[in-house]
Amino acid sequence: MKKEPVVRVSGAAEGTSASAEKPAETAAGKPAARRAAGVKGTAAIGKSAPTRAAVRPAGNESRTALVRRARRINRELAEVFPYAHPELDFENPFQLVVATVLSAQTTDLRVNQTTPALFAKYPAPEDLAAADPAEVEEILRPTGFFRAKTRSVIGLSKALVEDFGGEVPGRLEDLVKLPGVGRKTAFVVLGNAFGRPGITVDTHFQRLVRRWRWTEETDPDKIEAAVGALFPKKDWTDLSHHVIWHGRRICHARKPACGACPIAPLCPAYGEGETDPEKAEKLLKYEKGGFPGQRLKPPQAYLDAGGRPAPPLGAG
């Protein structure tokens, strides 16, 4: 009988498998344009992970063991999602900051289906700053909370024109002064439009890092600090993509697909979701489940790996 592999994840014994310890190649340090395009290579899409022995890290896991386990999870996810990229369509920093503000309380897909009409009519900050709020509200209605979002995007456009010469600033302290822009939005823009590392603490990121016992913090700023201390700064942006993609596709809030999870041996929460591989595979979302992604214009690397673009608003 073939023995099940045993993976130990506490103390110095963590990661005894040679193959598991092989560092995965990542895009850390690559220019923002290449990172946004998902240029990391390709991988097969739509195949569930093989059944793997899962263990729970010891309750007294040392700091060294935690760092090793966290970094190994990131390496594993980099192999599963080598094409991970921002899931908001954008062509420049202005479009990205507006799209990220609009993504609050809705899906990236709905934002991507809405912004083409917005940017066609208001392509620059000067245009949106001078827009009729009622007309903008009508365009943004599908994203929900459209009145508040209209005030934010018009307000941030005016601030860009009046305070920054119509250009999106590349500093955190400047970005968070814009209406509707907090640290999460600022790090999305810095990491993906300017190539400056940042951790994006969205709902998926918060859920997964607590499931993995990387931190017990619940405040986004404290989560950002705690997780950032586990990784080199150069890895922060790609780490954010890996974690968020895993949360959207496999490690869901209500029904995590534990039986199809590639990092099951490293997860303290293994068993909270469906562990049967066949049943778990049916829970996979987006390209992992054979469905369209969230971007209407995804990077070529994603398409090369078998991903499908999302349909425009009103299609189907």
**Catalytic residue list:** 184, 202
Cα dist. 215→63, 115, 191, 252, 312 in Å? 11, 35, 22, 19, 39
Return the SS3 of 107.
Answer: coil
Between the alpha carbon of residue 275 and those of residues 54, 166, 261, the distances in Å are 10, 51, 9
Q: Where are the alpha helices (DSSP H) in the chain?
A: 32-36, 63-80, 93-102, 108-121, 125-129, 133-140, 146-164, 172-175, 183-193, 203-211, 220-228, 236-249, 277-281, 300-304
Q: What is the rounded distance in angstroms from the CA atom of residue 248 to the CA atom of residue 256?
A: 10
